[in-house]
Amino acid sequence: DTEVTQTPKHLVMGMTNKKSLKCEQHMGHRAMYWYKQKAKKPPELMFVYSYEKLSINESVPSRFSPECPNSSLLNLHLHALQPEDSALYLCASSQRTSGYNEQFFGPGTRLTVL
């Protein structure tokens, strides 16, 4: 299995809702990432997990809460989001945590915050 899967594909939520995005990979990769991407812009790194521990948090607001339950799964818990948080949220994984660092991306979750 050489793919990263993400669910759901689309999500519409109100500003008072709590929802979660899920990501899964079965390639034995030791690093997993969350990115946020706005239209016509490059992905912006949000979080990095290395060996199931949070290693990078790019000063992301606390309304985004990542979780890595095991080496194959990565969640992003969402609470009290703002309309400007509407974006494509991408999960990625890589075999290594530094150096040679090809990343494999999932198809993304298109999030709309009303």
Does residue number 98 form part of the binding site for another protein (CB under 8 A)?
Answer: yes
- 104: nearest Cα among 10, 24, 22, 14: 24
| Residue choice 11, 24, 108, 111 for contact with another protein (CB under 8 A) | 108
| Residue choice 50, 71, 72, 75 for contact with another protein (CB under 8 A) | 50
User: Which amino acid does the sequence have at 88?
Assistant: L
Residue that is written with structure tokens 């793919």 in the block: 3
Burial of 67 (0-12, 13-18, 19+ CB in 10 A): middle
Q: 10-49: which residues touch another protein (CB under 8 A)? A: 31, 33, 40-43, 45, 48
Instruction: Return residues touching another protein (CB under 8 A).
Output: 4, 6, 31, 33, 40-43, 45, 48, 50, 55-56, 88, 90, 92, 94, 96-108, 110
